[in-house]
Amino acid sequence: MKKGLICAALVLALGAAATGTAKVTVRAEEVVTDCKAAYLMDVGSGVQMYAKNETQRLPIASMCKIMTLLLALEATDSGELSYEEEITISERAAGMGGSQVFLGAGLSYRAEELLKSIAVCSANDSCVAIAERLAGSEGAFCERMNARAKELGAENTLFANCTGLPKETQYSCAHDVALMLRELIGHEKYHAYSRIWLEDFEHPDGRTTQMTNTNKLIRQYDGCDGGKTGFTNEAGFCLAASARRGDMRVISVVIGAGDSKARFAATTSLFDYAFDNFESVTYLKAGEALSEQVQVQGSEVEQLTLLPEKSLAVLRRRGVEENYTLRCEYEQQMKAPIQEGETIGQAILLRDGVEIARTDLLAGTAAPRYSWWQAYREGARHWNMA
């Protein structure tokens, strides 16, 4: 592959390489976490900013609904589920208990309203209704949950239900919860729900249930725009939350705090540490075209845009300098045919000349080969110009 261009180096700073396993050093006095486990991640780069027992297998209560919501939103993206679809509630779903919106068995509700109730008030009955609609049963849906967790690299996670209610052989860890929430917040539709503080849930039979967001930091912490609380006697008080200021977004996970106040205090401490000490810089954003284009021979499509498959970002600690270079490699001229989404190059992020991350560059459109007639016409055009 020929080198297409080398972007000028920028001076940035990071305590470690910008990969999902990278870490930065934390002074213990900077963070206060009165809980069993905690994790703090920069969303753009995936860098670990703080960790406490982050891979310890623990019950996570309703935070497992992060995966329930993720699968549901992915189903809407693929066309498997429509937001406008009416879902009829089973006796089992209506009888779940715990946090709920009191769905009526035999009644039909719009899928969007069910998803909203899961995101806002952690409705167990809505979780089961969605699980049954997508997989036929909660058990079959859990198989999907576990498969998706494995795809995300959540190695210390096992789901036995879609609600987080106590059940044997069900666990996760702070690190894995962060991975799941990172994927969920990539869906813009989720944020339409996560920012709701108070809203009425209307039932088809005329009843109304008031929904209140269980994540109090939505109103109490500047920049907090999503997350999921959880509580059972086994799990203690839990909270996974995201916050954004400027171009920097972080995820905090707290498991096993002694009370609700402690989980919010720990999350606030983690957020403060992140925003006070770090900045995030994105070099390439997934799906956003580069300014450069590839020349194409043998097709009516003469130029192709380059789209990064994944974002490339780094986290920098204030006051520390390291040298970063973004290098994009691709053939400056390619021959048709080229498929839309085909890999046609690589973007590589280097620190002090050493590679720390890369992503494929994809063809933004298809470039089919000339048909016989098109090739003849093109040849004739060039002959006439000679």
For residues 34 and 238, the answer to whether their CB atoms sit within 8 Å is: no
pLDDT, one tens digit per residue, over 91-122 is: 999 999 899 999 999 999 999 999 999 999 99
DSSP tag of 8: P
Identify whether 180 is part of a domain.
Answer: yes
| pLDDT at site 247 | 85
- Final residue of a domain: which of 247, 265, 281? 281
User: 201 and 72 share a domain?
Assistant: yes
Q: Is 83 helix (H, G, I), strand (E, B) or coil?
A: coil
Domain count along the chain = 2
Q: What is the pLDDT of residue 380?
A: 53
Tokens for 269, please give them: 């401490």
pLDDT in tens, 188-209: 999 999 999 999 999 999 999 9
Please confirm, yes or no, whether 269 is among the known catalytic residues: no
The residue range of the domain holding 294 is 3-14+285-385
252 in catalytic set:
no
Are residues 129 and 87 in contact, defined by beta-carbon separation less than 8 angstroms? Answer: yes
CA angle 275, 277, 279 (to 5 degrees): 65
Q: Catalytic residue at 335?
A: no
Say if CB 347 and CB 358 are below 8 A apart. yes
122, 242, 252, 299: which is the annotated catalytic residue? Answer: 122
Tell me which residues of the chain have a pLDDT lower than 70.
Answer: 1-22, 24-29, 371-386
**Does 335 lie in the same domain as 199?**
no
- Both 35 and 178 in one domain: the answer is yes
The structure tokens listed for 122 are 């952690």
Looking at the domain assignment, is residue 20 inside a domain? no
Do 43 and 142 belong together in one domain? Answer: yes
Residue of 36, 52, 65, 228 marked catalytic = 65
Residues 10 and 91 in one domain: no
Final residue belonging to a domain, choices 281, 306, 325: 281
Q: Which two structure tokens, joined as six digits, stand for 375?
A: 């090739």
pLDDT confidence of residue 316: 86
Q: Is residue 24 part of a domain?
A: no
Question: Rounded to an integer, what is the distance from CA 335 to the centroid of its chain?
Answer: 36
**Of 281, 300, 320, the domain-final residue:** 281
Q: List the CATH number of the domain containing 100.
A: 3.40.710.10
Q: State the Cα–Cα distance between residues 385 and 383, nearest whole angstrom.
A: 5
Residues 119, 142, single domain; the answer is yes
> Does any domain span residue 99?
yes
Kindly state whether residue 208 falls inside one of the protein's structural domains: yes
End-to-end CA distance of the chain: 32
DSSP one-letter string for 13-68: --SS-SSTT-B----GGG----SSEEEEEETTT--EEEEESTT--B--GGGGHHHH
Examine the domain organization and report whether 204 and 334 are in the same domain. Answer: no
Q: 45, 62, 117, 194: which one is catalytic? A: 62
> What is the C-alpha to C-alpha distance for residues 229 and 61, in angstroms, rounded to an integer?
8
Does residue 233 sit in the same domain as residue 325? Answer: no
Q: What is the pLDDT of residue 23?
A: 73
Same domain, 303 and 257: no
- Check if the beta carbon of residue 242 is closer than 8 Å to that of residue 289: no
Distance CA 24, CA 314 (A): 12
Tell me, yes or no, whether 22 lies in a domain. Answer: no
Residues 81, 211 within the same domain:
yes
What pLDDT is recorded for position 281? Answer: 85
Please report the pLDDT score of residue 270 as a whole number.
97
Same domain (yes/no): 232, 329: no
Decide if 195 contacts 225 (C-beta within 8 A): yes
Residue 263 lies in a domain: yes
Residue 21 lies in a domain: no
75: helix, strand or coil: helix
20 contact partners, CB below 8 Å, separation of at least 6: 46, 153
CB-CB contact of 49 with 249 (8 Å): no
182 and 51 in a common domain: yes
For residue 371, the domain's CATH number is 2.60.410.10
